[in-house]
Amino acid sequence: MIYKTVESSLITFSQLMLPSHSNFSGKIHGGYLLSLMDQIAFACGSKYSGKYCVTASVDRVDFLTPVEVGELVTLNASVNYVGNTSMVIGIRVESQNVQTGEIRHCNSSYFTMICKEENGEKADAPKLILRSPNEIRRFYKALHRIEEHKKAALQVKDPMDYHSDDLINYLLEHYNVKIQLDSRL
């Protein structure tokens, strides 16, 4: 069995934000930042595993502060957790005003990447050596998120009747909605 350190997975990527990356309000497109995050997750997972990696899922992404045209965006990624064929890659995104030097945390997220063989089959990922309390914390937090996702998936079984008067009345009383049921559906 192969073991590797978190340090062997570290990737840092910086890019100057151009007007072509912006939306109509002059801020950088969230989708563009997500694309950069996916690229660094691939690079981090592939560097660590020595395998081709594909994105299996992206955990919650909250855009904390907007990124401006002309700022330098830096993404830092590391493997936080390793399963059999999957890895959770932690990504932190920061923007820097290159004139003032001010750095802001823009967002953080977790990408689950799957190791693949050349034939497309899943491949085993190297196991993880944890060397610091921070690495142990990140591993544990990833494990906790995985367990929470599994619990949520078990609760997806949906026995609710979406035509029930009780549910419809509840939605009408507590939320700002109109319900106009189409008899053809």
Q: What is the pLDDT confidence band of residue 157, given thresholds at 50, 70 and 90?
A: low
Mean per-residue pLDDT, 85-110: 97
Q: Tell me, what's the pLDDT at 160? A: 61
109 is a domain residue = yes
Burial of 156 (0-12, 13-18, 19+ CB in 10 A): exposed
Residue 81 lies in a domain: yes
Contacts of residue 143, Cβ cutoff 8 Å, sequence gap at least 6? 81
Residue 154 lies in a domain: yes
181 in a structural domain: no
Mean pLDDT across 76-87 = 97
Domain count, the chain: 1
Q: Does a structural domain hold residue 183?
A: no
Residue 182 located in a structural domain = no
Q: Percent of the chain at pLDDT above 90?
A: 78
**Which CATH number characterizes residue 154's domain?**
3.10.129.10
19: domain range?
3-174
Q: Does residue 184 lie in a domain region?
A: no
pLDDT of residue 101: 97
Per the domain annotation, does 101 fall within a domain?
yes
In this prediction, residue 149 carries a pLDDT of: 87
Closest Cα partner for 91 from 113, 116, 71, 66?
113
